[in-house]
Amino acid sequence: MSAKHTFIPSALLLFYAFFLTSEVVQAQLLFEENFNYPDGAKLTDYSWSAHSGAGTNPVTVTSPGLTYTNYPSVSGNAALLDKTGEDVNRNFAEQSSGVLYVSFLVNIGNMPASEYFLHLGPTNIGTTYIAKVWAKTDESGNIEFSITKKSSSPTEYTDNNYSRNTTYLLVLKYEFVSGSSNDLVSLFVFADPNLPTTEPAVATLGPIDESSQSDPSNLGSIALRQFHANQNITVDGIRIGLSWSDAPVPVELSNFTATVVGEQVRLAWSTATETENLGFHLFRSMDVGKDYQQITTELIKGSGSSDRARHYSFVDRNVMPGQTYYYKLADVDFAGNMRFHGPISVTVEAVPSSYSLSQNYPNPFNPETAIQFSLKEAGKVTLRIYNLQGQLVRTLVDEEKLAGSYSVLWNGTSDNGVRLASGMYYYILKTNKFERVRKLILMK
C-alpha cells in the first residue's frame, strides 16, 4: 500500500485517528487466530485446550509474529512449538460436507525428525487426528513438507527445498467426498510474496485419498503439536474458511481513517482485494464499546471482486466540536452478510499552537506505521525517511500545507516500491520554521 497523508485546514481542528487494528470475522470465515496475546502467555489461558501432555511444556506465545506480503493475518504475535510437551486444540464451526481450506504461516528453525505439527480433528477431538501437516529436514538441511489424511507416515514430500528460519504460507485443503473412505486432502506451499487470488490448478501435494483410512464424521477442531525435544516451529495467522478466498485472501481492508475538515469528519478507506463485495455502510457511536448507529442512508457501492487497490470516502456532516466520535465500517457481501472493521476515533480539538512531530506508532512496526505531525502555520513541508547511511529512501510529503494536524501512513517501502530491510531509519520533518528528527524501527 502506498503512503497516504491527510489534510486539515487552519479553520479546524485536531485530528486523532487509529488505523485499522481489528476486524470481525466475515461470514464464510469459520476461524481466525492471530495470537494477539502477551508474549510468553500460555495458549491454554486463551481459549485453547490441551488434549495431550497437559501442563507439560505448554504451547506459548512468542513475539514478534510472522509476516507475509499482503497476507491479512499478521496483527498479533505467534505460537511457538518448542521441544516436546503439551498439544493443544481449539474448536471452529463444525463441518461435515463441502470443502474446507486452512491457511497459516509457518517458520521452522529446527526439525530433527519427520513428524506432523498441525492437524484437524472432530469437534470432540479425542485421539482422532485428521489432515496432518508434516515436515522434515532433508540431507541438505532444507525443509520439506507433506500431508496425510490419517496415516501415521507420509508417502511423499515436496520436491522443493524450503529454507529453515524462513516464513512460508501453507494452505491445507480438505474435501468431503460421499462414501466411507473417499475424502481428499491437498497441500499448497507458497514462498513470500506469492499469494494467488484464485486456487492453483495443481496443488503442491495431493489430492490424496488414503482409501484404506476411514473418513471422519465431522471436522470441528484445529490442533498444534509438540513432538520432539529439539523441534522449533513458529505458527501464525491461522484462517479456516469454506472457499479459497476466505482462507488465504479475504476481502482485505488496507486502511481506514477519520479526519476533521472544517465542521465535518471525512472518513476514507482503501481495500487491497475484494471478493463478492456489494458495498459498505458506516456506523458511529460516542462510546467505543456500544450504541453504534448506521449513518449511511444508502449503500456505498463496492467493486464486486477485485485484486487491485480501491479507494472510498464518506463525509459525516452531523458532528459537534468538543466531541469524540467512534466509527466502524461494514462491508456487505452479495449474500447480504456484513463484516465490521474498526473502530477508529476522531476528536475535535483546537488548532495546533505549535509545531510537532510525534513518535511513529507502532514502533517497531511491520507492515505499516503511522507518523503524525502538527503545523502551527501554513508553508512548505517535507517528511522524508533516511537510512543509517544518510541516504534518502522515501519521501512521504513534499508540498505546501495549511496549518493543522496530519497523519501519514508508511508501509516500509522505498520510493521505487521496494520493501526495505529490517533495521533503524530516521524520519525528518522540515518546514520554513521547524525541523525535527526521530528514529523508527522496521522489523520483519
391/329 same-domain check = no
Is 2 inside a domain boundary?
no
318/386 same-domain check = no
d(CA 154, CA 115): 9
231/304 same-domain check = no
Please spell the DSSP secondary structure of 175-215, one letter per residue.
E--SSSS--EEEEEEEETT---SS--SS-SEEEE--TTSPP
Question: Domain holding 433: CATH number?
Answer: 2.60.40.4070
pLDDT of 332-369, one tens digit each?
Answer: 878 676 777 777 887 766 667 889 998 988 888 887 78
Question: Domain holding 227: CATH number?
Answer: 2.60.120.200
Average pLDDT over residues 38-50: 93
Triad 236, 84, 237: Cα angle to 5°:
5
62/131 same-domain check = yes
Q: Which of 213, 175, 168 is nearest to 192 (CA)?
A: 168
User: How many helices, marked H, and strands, marked E, lie in the chain?
Assistant: 0, 29
227/117 same-domain check = yes
d(CA 129, CA 149): 9
pLDDT at 236: 95
95/219 same-domain check = yes
Last residue of a domain, one of 292, 322, 347: 347
Is 8 inside a domain boundary?
no
Is 5 inside a domain boundary?
no
Question: Mean pLDDT highest for which of 192-201, 246-255, 279-288?
Answer: 279-288
pLDDT of 170-199, one tens digit each?
Answer: 999 999 998 888 999 999 999 988 888 778
d(CA 188, CA 203): 5
d(CA 32, CA 152): 28
Full residue range of the structural domain in which residue 316 is found:
17-22+251-347
Question: Domain holding 284: CATH number?
Answer: 2.60.40.10
Which pTM does this prediction carry? 0.56
Average pLDDT over residues 43-50: 93
pLDDT above 90 covers what percent of the chain?
Answer: 44
Triad 277, 281, 282: Cα angle to 5°:
140
- Band of residue 244 on the pLDDT scale cut at 50, 70, 90: confident
Count other Cβ atoms within 10 Å, centred on residue 320: 9
Instruction: Match 502555520 to its residue by C-alpha cell.
Output: 377
Task: Give the total number of structural domains in the chain.
Answer: 3
Whether the pLDDT of residue 17 is over 50: the answer is no
Write out the H or E segment, with its range, that includes residue 88: strand 87-95
Last residue of a domain, one of 214, 241, 268: 241
Range in 33-47, 230-244, 308-322 with the lowest mean pLDDT? 308-322
pLDDT at 2: 38
226/371 same-domain check = no
Average pLDDT over residues 383-399: 94
132/79 same-domain check = yes
Last residue of a domain, one of 304, 325, 347: 347
322/361 same-domain check = no
208/305 same-domain check = no
Whether the pLDDT of residue 430 is over 90: the answer is yes
Is 9 inside a domain boundary?
no
Is 336 inside a domain boundary?
yes
Is 7 inside a domain boundary?
no
134/166 same-domain check = yes
Q: Which of 231, 210, 233, 195 is nearest to 68 (CA)?
A: 195
Is 168 inside a domain boundary?
yes
Whether the pLDDT of residue 26 is over 60: the answer is no
AA identity, residue 322: G
